[in-house]
Amino acid sequence: MAYAEACLATLDDAHPQRRRMVHDVLASAGRVRGWNREMLRIYDPRGFALSEPESGRAFQERVAQCLTWEAWEPTTPDALVRTAPMPTLAWLTQQAEAAQPVAARVAMVARTWGVWVRMGREQQCGGELRRAAAALLRSPAIARDGEAFKAVIRLAGEAGAVEAVDTLASFAASDARPEVRAEACAALGRIGGDKARGALLTRSAAETDAGALVKLAAALEIWPNDAAAGDALLKLFKRVPDPAVRRSVLFAAIAGRWPARPALLLMALDDEDGSVVGVALQALAAKPEPSSREAVLAIAPSFKEASAGLIDALGAYADARSSLLLASWLRQETSSPLLVKTIRALGAIRDPLARKTLLRSLDSQPHELVVEHAIQGLEAMQAKEAVPTLIALARDETAPMGVRLQAVQALGSFDLPTIRPVLAALAADVEHAFQRPAVGETPAKRRGPDRIEQARVYLALARFRLGDADAGEEFHRLFNEGSATARFYALHLLAVTHTPHPAIRQGLESSDFATLLAAILAAKANQPWDHLEQLRIIAGQPLLRALGESGVDTANLRHVLEETLAAANAHGHEGGAE
Amino acid sequence: MQATMTRSRGRLVALAACLLALAATPPARGHESPVDHVDRDMAMWVADGRLFLSYRVQVSERMAMMQLNQADVNSDGKVSDAERRKYFETWQGALAKLLQLQMDGRAIAWTPVGEVAFDARLGQTYLFSAALPANLSEGAPWRLKDLFSRQYPGQYRYRQTPALAAGASPVICELEKNISDVGEEHPEIVVLVFKLPKTPAP
């Protein structure tokens, strides 16, 4: 930010062409205002000072002079939001009271700030922003300008402006413009709370515009356990035949757990529109409803080609009556993602035909990811007839690395005398056994994660699972001495194989993100209540919580932690605690 | 705010679950990796009979936050000066051991010098020095194995001509061509080979 400050000093009216450059610099440097405040204070003390209301006042006022320029640069809104939040908020509040606000500029700033908030970057001015948004919503002048009004409504939702709920509810109910009603419904869904919910439920019975109903249905998604929300969505589905509305209702049903859900999904399977049926199948894949089982099986043969939602739904029901259809799709389909889904569905079904099909796939399928999933399925079925092929794959120096490692992992689950010597031989000569690149493997892929290190981890764990205590020690040593990637893989393996190991406890103390994430997942898969104390400590760390609320937690560690803690606590409440 | 996360949260949870339920090598499959990369920037010079190493790492926002979380020992959401110093002092000591300096197979220990310097690009610059052993073989190769680069690979830059105080001589380095010759196998490890300047400053 010090550079941005220096750049700003060069700004003057005699050189208007500098404005674009200066605003580009401000917009870029200003990204630091999105950092956690402690991090900003330590890494960029000048940036911290410039973002503070008192020490940054002169700087921010200077930046905010552009609010009165005749023309804005493309990056001016970003520059204002990121480097001059206080004067920009004051300006927004003035615009809310003005008889003739600069509506186009209000819209630009509102959109930019909304994105900033949605990315989790607003670390400072949340309260002031909510109040400014609420004030703008009360402005008749802003309300007359459709674009500005929609942008401000959206901002109110992004900012979580609970003080604006009543105003938004009245717009949702009575604004003549359907696009405004739509944005108001969406904003109510983002804000949440009982009042917002009540407003949406009331409106759901009366709204007629399809666009507004799409947003309204999406907004109700945040109440997945609320019976009234489910009833309202079912009524909406019955009342409105528009496919876009029906799809929106069904998207809400993916996470929904309302009493009305089974009836809704059964009705949806009968829809004339294939896209509506597709979303219903997605919802059933997420949580199959017993009442829809026969309907899903009945419509499956009518699909001319494999469909992702249908495959997932058939896998979720795991009904052997769908094995033949899935096996036929496996023969015809060429898309790798659909093939993977089909293999996973067959793996869930586990009947003799599924078993035979997965076994055949080890030799016949050209896509390595498909073969990896077939191996996973055979491991889960404990298909001993697959062991000779798995041994061959583990030893095959020309096979893709992922396939070989998956085979090694699977072999660790079969307690057969033929397996231990194979794994021991591979482990004794890892460098030679795994050094040669597979057929078609690119140099970049070859240089990717450390092949030898990975192979050692997989082999050690497989041998440990078969009772080799020394291998358990070796696994631990590899974990302690390994790269961040190796530790991630090691813990990932403990999770997917449900293998308890002291490395989980160590991983939960790690300051490395990937290690911590994988450790939490490993804990979840291995009696999470054993790690309850550690999980509680982790959940109570303010800076880790802050990371979870910022835009950088792209792997959603926060949600994974919440789920794991819930699983650990649930065991205690069920009386299973030690 | 909860509502905005629902659909995207569902998809993110699915992604995280997929990462760890799918194939053997999830981070390499085209999704964003949860493993952080670290870029590094180094320079070495000789002055006053000692070898100096400036080692700057540029971390991701996520990694920086994880470090600060660890430093926040009393979990009050703030990192006091004392907490910061203690954490990074310990870390600097650990880093000194990961940057293995060798001459003729002899390990030479680094000593941390001063505190870490932070910069606004999420950089942390550490300074180390090592005493030059007596009876140095003229022109004998030195090696610096950066074991931290093995743990956290990333972009690497060595500054052959850094700005130096009067009397200091820069050390010119090149990357080791065959890391297996020095007992290493990780493809991303940085191993530097260099010779000391012919007339090091007294």
**Domain coordinates in residue numbering, chain B:** 1-34, 36-194
On the question of pLDDT at A419 being above 50, the answer is yes
On the question of pLDDT at B137 being above 80, the answer is no
Name the helix (H) or strand (E) containing A103: helix A103-118
* Burial state string for A512-521 with b = 16 or more CB within 10 A and e = fewer than 16: bbbbbbbbbb
**Per-residue H/E/C for A187-245:** HHHHHCCHHHHHHHHHHHCCCCCHHHHHHHHHHHHHCCCCHHHHHHHHHHHHHCCCHHH
Contacts of A437 in chain B (CB under 8 A): none
A116 Cα distance to chain centroid = 18
On the question of pLDDT at B199 being above 70, the answer is no
| pLDDT higher at A573 or A250 | A250
Predicted pLDDT at A285: 98
Reported pTM? 0.88
Return residues 340-399 of A near B (CB < 8 Å).
Answer: 369, 372-373
The whole-number average pLDDT for the span A502-528 is 96
Cα distance between residue A25 and residue A334, in whole Å: 48
B141 band by pLDDT with thresholds 50, 70 and 90? confident
On the question of pLDDT at A104 being above 60, the answer is yes
Nearest to B16 among A544, A546, A555 (CB): A555
- What type of residue is A88? T
For B114-132, write each residue's pLDDT tens digit.
999 999 999 999 999 999 8
User: Could you tell me if A463 and A420 are in contact, meaning their C-beta atoms sit under 8 angstroms apart?
Assistant: yes
For A433-468, write each residue's pLDDT tens digit.
887 666 666 655 555 447 888 899 999 999 999 999
**Per-residue H/E/C for A427-470:** HHCHHHHHHCCCCCCCHHHHCCCCHHHHHHHHHHHHHHHCCCHH
What are the residue ranges of helices labelled H in B22-165? 61-71, 81-98, 147-151
Predicted pLDDT at A16: 74
A7 band by pLDDT with thresholds 50, 70 and 90? confident
Nearest to B3 among A222, A495, A560 (CB): A222
* Burial state string for A260-293 with b = 16 or more CB within 10 A and e = fewer than 16: bbebbbbbbbebeeeebbbbbbbbbbbebbeebb
Q: What angle do CA B182, B188, B194 make, to 5 degrees?
A: 50
Cα distance between residue B76 and residue A542, in whole Å: 7
Predicted pLDDT at A507: 96
Whether A560 and B1 lie within 8 Å, measured CB to CB: no
3-state secondary structure of A176: coil
Predicted pLDDT at A301: 93
Predicted pLDDT at B28: 33
DSSP 8-state symbol, B190: E
On the question of pLDDT at B14 being above 70, the answer is no
Bridging pattern class, strands B39-47 and B156-158: parallel
Lowest mean pLDDT among A27-31, A69-73, A334-338, A395-399: A69-73
On the question of pLDDT at A57 being above 90, the answer is yes
Percent of chain B with pLDDT over 90: 46
Bridging pattern class, strands B39-47 and B50-58: antiparallel
Cα distance between residue A270 and residue A265, in whole Å: 9
Cα distance between residue B194 and residue B200, in whole Å: 14
Whether B120 and A118 lie within 8 Å, measured CB to CB: no
Contacts of A291 (CB under 8 A, 6+ apart): A262, A263, A266
3-state secondary structure of B143: strand
B164 band by pLDDT with thresholds 50, 70 and 90? confident
Whether A43 and B19 lie within 8 Å, measured CB to CB: no
Check CB contact of A157 with chain B, cutoff 8 Å. yes
* Mean pLDDT taken over chain A: 93
Q: Where would I find the beta strands (DSSP E) of A61-110?
A: none
Alpha carbon of B108 to those of A287, B43, B184, B202: distances in Å? 61, 17, 18, 19
CA of A42: which chain B residue's CA is closest? B118
Nearest to A255 among B6, B63, B185 (CB): B6
What are the residue ranges of helices labelled H in chain B? 2-21, 61-71, 81-98, 147-151
Cα distance between residue B150 and residue A183, in whole Å: 50
On the question of pLDDT at B188 being above 90, the answer is no
Predicted pLDDT at B175: 83
CB atoms within 10 A of CB A81: 27
Contacts of A554 (CB under 8 A, 6+ apart): B12, B32, B34
Cα distance between residue A547 and residue A550, in whole Å: 5
What's the order of all strands across the beta sheet hosting B142-146?
B106-108, B99-103, B142-146, B190-194, B173-175
Check CB contact of A443 with chain B, cutoff 8 Å. no
Whether B119 and A43 lie within 8 Å, measured CB to CB: yes
| pLDDT higher at B145 or B25 | B145
Check CB contact of A513 with chain B, cutoff 8 Å. yes
Check CB contact of A543 with chain B, cutoff 8 Å. yes
Contacts of A216 in chain B (CB under 8 A): none
On the question of pLDDT at A81 being above 90, the answer is yes
| pLDDT higher at A466 or A485 | A466
Provide the angle, in degrees to the nearest 10, between the axes of the packed helices A210-219 and A227-239. Answer: 160
Contacts of B13 in chain A (CB under 8 A): 556, 559-560
B140 band by pLDDT with thresholds 50, 70 and 90? confident
3-state secondary structure of B112: strand
| pLDDT higher at A182 or B189 | A182
Predicted pLDDT at A2: 85
Cα distance between residue A35 and residue A54, in whole Å: 19
On the question of pLDDT at A185 being above 60, the answer is yes
Q: Which of B5, B6, B31 to mutate to test the interface with A (most CBs of A within 10 A)?
A: B6
- Virtual torsion, Cα A131, A134, A135, A138, nearest 10 deg: -170
On the question of pLDDT at A365 being above 90, the answer is no
Number of CB pairs, chain A paired with chain B, less than 8 A apart: 185
User: Could you tell me if A47 and A38 are in contact, meaning their C-beta atoms sit under 8 angstroms apart?
Assistant: no
- What type of residue is A198? G
Predicted pLDDT at A498: 96
The whole-number average pLDDT for the span B136-150 is 83
B1 band by pLDDT with thresholds 50, 70 and 90? very low
CA of B186: which chain A residue's CA is closest? A450
User: Could you tell me if A13 and A66 are in contact, meaning their C-beta atoms sit under 8 angstroms apart?
Assistant: no
3-state secondary structure of B173: strand
Predicted pLDDT at A18: 85
On the question of pLDDT at A269 being above 60, the answer is yes
Q: Which of B4, B31, B146 to mutate to test the interface with A (most CBs of A within 10 A)?
A: B4
Count of alpha carbons within 13 angstroms of residue B184, beta-carbon side:
22
Q: Which of A1, A33, A40, A43 to mutate to test the interface with B (most CBs of B within 10 A)?
A: A43
Question: For chain A, what is the radius of gyration of the CA atoms?
Answer: 29
Predicted pLDDT at A442: 61
Nearest to A36 among B20, B34, B65 (CB): B65
CA of B122: which chain A residue's CA is closest? A43
List the domain boundaries for chain A: 1-125, 389-482, 489-578
On the question of pLDDT at A511 being above 60, the answer is yes
Nearest to B68 among A516, A543, A555 (CB): A543
The whole-number average pLDDT for the span A22-31 is 93
For A327-349, write each residue's pLDDT tens digit.
999 998 889 999 999 999 999 99
* Burial state string for A532-571 with b = 16 or more CB within 10 A and e = fewer than 16: bebbeebbebebbbbbbebebbebbbbbbbebbbebbbeb
The whole-number average pLDDT for the span A255-264 is 97
Predicted pLDDT at A572: 65
CB atoms within 10 A of CB B51: 23
How many angstroms separate the CA of residue A339 from the nearest CA in chain B?
13
Percent of chain A with pLDDT over 70: 96
Interface predicted TM-score (ipTM) of this complex, two decimals: 0.88
